[in-house]
Structure 1
Amino acid sequence: MKKTHLIILLIILSVFTAFGQAFEGKIVYSNSYKSKNQQMPDQQWQTMLGSTQEYFIKDGDYKSISNGSLMQWQLYVNKDNKLYNKMSNSEMAVWNDCNNQGDEVLKTEVNKGVTEILGYKCDEVVLFCKSGAQRYYFNSKLSVDPKLFINHKFGNWYQYLLLSKALPLKTVIETAQFTMTSVATEVKVEKLDGKQFQLPAGIQTQKAHID
């Protein structure tokens, strides 16, 4: 094989290897809210749920830390398929069984080259759900293996990952109460300690009651 051909082959292989590796590290998001409830101004939602979110992911586990006065953190433990939520008004962490979707996707849509965020050119996935539209903007460099989240039906997370195979850099989520827009302000690739994705020692937990 000629030297130039060998160099080209090595470059191609290195690119596929880089893109094949799942993202591990931290993404910081800025969150804003547009209220649909006259009794709840936009700013009140932002104060309660947080204007800033730090999202950490390693393999199939993830953790989200918020600066909200009510919402403190979320933790997804893959081996249990549970999403834990810690609120400031309780000492307990309340968990959802992620086998339960809690919503229904009526239609999906994929649009190419919709926007650019932090220098990443982003495609768009839209999930039209009973609860409202969910719009995700992503770049394949922040790759995720959907198989790791095959049982994470809650919040339509697995359905989104099947279409994107990547973490979102922006989301626009409609609910009955508000529309939340979350935009990445920082992406940091780093090796994380697996202990970061364990529940705090001694914390009590209980299952969420969904009507």
Structure 2
Amino acid sequence: MNRLILLVVVLNSYFLQSQDFEGMLVYSVSYESKSPDITSEQLNSLMGTKQWYAIKGGNYKSVFNGDFIKLQIYRSDENRNYSLTAKSDTLYYDDYSENNDKALSYDIKKNQDTIMGVPCDLITIKAKKSKTSYYFNSSYKVNPELFKGHNYGNWYYMLSKTKALPLKTIMETEQFIMTSIATKVKPMQLNDNVFEIQNKNKIAPAYWK
């Protein structure tokens, strides 16, 4: 009996470790402005300092506490991101096959930081207009093929190299430096309706493209 219990525990552990991550992460976010036209305080207020991120399969959803974008939903079956702003109940969509900041090179280094007690490797991606550093641990697995069309932000490019969600991100552009650090990770089963577009009569192309 003890051997049977041990076998069940081992198999269950293996099963959990082999699964893609499903659940929620909470990130603390901060912005440092490099532009004379906007202060760091204004950027933080506009973009938000907290992100609630849910993912299941090839879909993800983010909720922000900023004054501009309040909600984003990415659907892999459409390869679109839907954004809800604070000023309208219309969902504005972007085609995420498009990318005007294509990755040029990457570099991976082992054991570069520890986030929430989790040791993380680092991938640094240099693109035409930005440099982004992602700190990740392979325990938070993602199947990159589910995001094969997600060129925007070089997301598929990054996932194809790491096969894991980032626990910390530092993005530097000509306008700002954004730092995002996970403060909570909660594996959980999510209903598919979390990622549904509820009112398809109120969608429109993003006006900021």
TM value normalised by structure 2:
0.92
Q: For the structure 1 residues 126 and 8, does the alpha-carbon distance in structure 2 shift closer, same or farther, using more than 3 Å as the test?
A: farther
Counterpart CA distance in 1 for 2:20 and 2:160 is: 14
1:117 to 104, 115, 118: 115
Match of 1:196 in 2: 194
**What SS does the corresponding residue of 2:37 show, helix, strand or coil?**
coil
Q: Structure 1 stretch 80-89 or stretch 155-164: which is displaced more?
A: 80-89
Please, what is the CA RMSD of the aligned residues? 2.2
Is contact 2:92–2:207 with CA below 8 Å preserved after alignment? no
Following superposition, which runs of at least 4 residues in structure 1 exceed 6 angstroms of deviation?
A: 5-12
Deviates more, 1:73-82 or 1:197-206: 197-206
Deviations 1:38-96 (A, max 9, x none): 22111110101000000000111000000001110110011111011111133322211
Amino acid at match of 2:40: D
Distance 1:196 1:74 in 2: 12
TM-score by length of 1: 0.91
Aligned to 1:157: 155
Instruction: State the partner residue of 1:128.
Output: 126
State the aligned residue count. 209
Aligned pair partner of 1:142 in 130, 140, 143: 140
Conserved? CA contact 2:82–2:94, under 8 Å: yes
Name the SS for the 2:157 alignment partner: helix
CA–CA distance in structure 2, aligned partners of residues 166 and 21 of structure 1: 11
Aligned to 1:83: 81
What amino acid does structure 2 have at the position aligned with 1:169? Answer: L
Any conservation in 1 of the 2:72–2:81 contact (CA below 8 Å)? yes
Query: 1:10 and 1:93 mapped to 2: Cα distance?
Result: 46
Q: Aligned partners of 2:140 and 2:105: how far apart in 1? A: 25
- Other structure's SS at 1:162 match: helix
**Which SS does the other structure have where 1:188 is aligned?**
strand
Structure 1 residue 128, shift from structure 2 partner: 0.2
Q: Against the structure 1 CA distance between its residues 171 and 203, is the aligned structure 2 distance closer, same or farther, given a 3 Å change threshold?
A: farther
The SS at the match of 1:102 is coil
Identity %: 37
Of 168, 176, 185, which residue of structure 1 is paired with 2:174?
Answer: 176
* Partner AA of 1:147 in structure 2: E
Alpha-carbon distance between aligned partners in 1 of 2:195 and 2:12, rounded to the nearest angstrom: 30
Deviates more, 1:97-106 or 1:121-130: 97-106
Please show how residues 18-97 of structure 1 align to structure 2 within 5 Å: 18-97=16-95
